Amino acid sequence: MSDAETPPETEFDPVAPNTGEEFEPVDVFPDSDDFDLRPGADSCYKCSTCDTNCPVAEVDDDFPGPKFQGPEQWRLKQSDDDYTVDDSVMDCSNCMRCDNACPSGVPLSQMHNTARGEYVSEQMDKLSVEYIRNRILANYRTSAFFASKVPRLANFAMNFGPARWVMEKTLGVTSERDFPEFARQTFREWWADRGGQAASRENAREARERRGLPEDADKKVAYFHGCYSNYNTPEVGKAMVRVYEEFGYEVVAPEQKCSGTPMFANGMLDDARRHAETNVSSMSELVDEGYHAIASCTSCSMALRQEYPELFDIDGIDKVAENTFEAVEYLRIHEDLKGEVQAADVDGELAEEFAYHAPCHSRNQGLDRQAVELFRDLDGAEVEDVGDSCSGISGTYGWKEEKYEKSMEIGEEMFEHMEHAEGDTGMTECPTCAMQMEHGSGYEIRHPLELLEAALVE
């Protein structure tokens, strides 16, 4: 063909776009009133770091691990209407170490709590021994309330050998552990006898005067003492109040219920929500008045800070979460706590060498080294870190007969480190970790606030 010749024209007839109808994207994941967990599931690239950091998966070959319990199971539920939550979700101890380990920020514990709540609500037999046992353990505050009315009788009955045997055989509550003693006077009874908020306001005023601070300084905190410091170890709550008053803070102890931590771990989300509504209501009102919420238990602070806004939509919940602190953490932020400790010394029964265990829920809040670093220069006491392993008890997990041996196997590394530590007194912020430490080592266990009180309060 020469350049002069013109090729025949070919018709170009593209299909005209359909502009007359609206485009309707495929609805892969139907709308739901639940919290949107898809971004978290999409962020998981299956590196399995969560699985290798899971203390339960390490000792239980049948447990599929956090990756399956979280994003994989969530995807299965979205793609298969007939899929039901796998019952292995009840083997998760809710230590939340997977949250801390995940390099992609997948909300694993939120997924676990959501799946566990669905399993208990929709699939678990409400007349089964397991459900009844779990409900009793999750609602510890209820049994502790009644036990505190007759503490001597309760302490005898709860650790009476034949009674413990019956509890194990009928309910599956292990008889290997000693039940913690109930205090003869609860923290709230002590608080009321002492004069409550009015007495704290006066003590704080006197402390500000001694320290040369303005008498009307805006220093006030709302103490979330939780169940255990109220019914079992009121000495921790007393230490918290006295230490804060020493720094010039007015303390209030508002109306409160359980933080919900043991309920999350057992899938009792309806129970947890009822308690959360009370806690958020009372704390949010105080936050509006300029108070910060302070917890002496790291699981309680974790619940208010992280689990509440992840699981519930309650008016004021974000405000409470943003203004909640662990007790020692708050003083480190707002006071020269390290300087005060360096200038102090301690003697008497707390002039000890302590074997310190950082609870898993402390690590999730970035607080795992604070006690060791804080007390490093305190004359008269030494604090030695016993490693980063999980204690194994994980609240109610280690109280279940079928999980007792696993909990002790998880805690074995901590027990070994405690045995080789210089001190023979333990220290931790978590009350159930304290139970496990005492059970596995025989050591007396103290709270960092008790050592702070001995060092700073005359």
All structural domains of the chain, each given as residue ranges with its CATH number in brackets, are 344-456 (3.40.50)
Q: Is the dihedral of CA 46, 48, 54, 58 positive or negative?
A: positive
Mean pLDDT in residue range 250-261:
97
Contact 57, 97 (CB under 8 A): no
- pLDDT-derived band at 220, boundaries 50, 70, 90: very high
The confidence score (pLDDT) of residue 37 equals: 64
The confidence score (pLDDT) of residue 7 equals: 52
Q: Does pLDDT of 33 surpass 80? A: no
The confidence score (pLDDT) of residue 82 equals: 84
Average pLDDT along the chain? 91
Distances, alpha carbon 24 to alpha carbons 18, 38, 284, 437, in Å: 12, 20, 43, 59
Q: Does pLDDT of 384 surpass 90? A: yes
Minimum mean pLDDT range among 8-17, 139-148, 293-302? 8-17
Rank 82-86, 213-217, 318-322 by mean pLDDT and report only the highest: 318-322
Mean pLDDT in residue range 241-248:
98
Q: Does pLDDT of 349 surpass 90? A: no
The confidence score (pLDDT) of residue 42 equals: 82
The confidence score (pLDDT) of residue 43 equals: 85
The confidence score (pLDDT) of residue 216 equals: 87
In this prediction the pTM is 0.89
Mean pLDDT in residue range 271-276:
97
- pLDDT-derived band at 29, boundaries 50, 70, 90: very low
Minimum mean pLDDT range among 15-29, 183-197, 277-291, 387-401? 15-29
- pLDDT-derived band at 28, boundaries 50, 70, 90: very low
Q: Does pLDDT of 95 surpass 70? A: yes
- pLDDT tens sequence across 331-345: 999 999 999 999 999
Q: Does pLDDT of 11 surpass 90? A: no
Q: Does pLDDT of 76 surpass 90? A: no
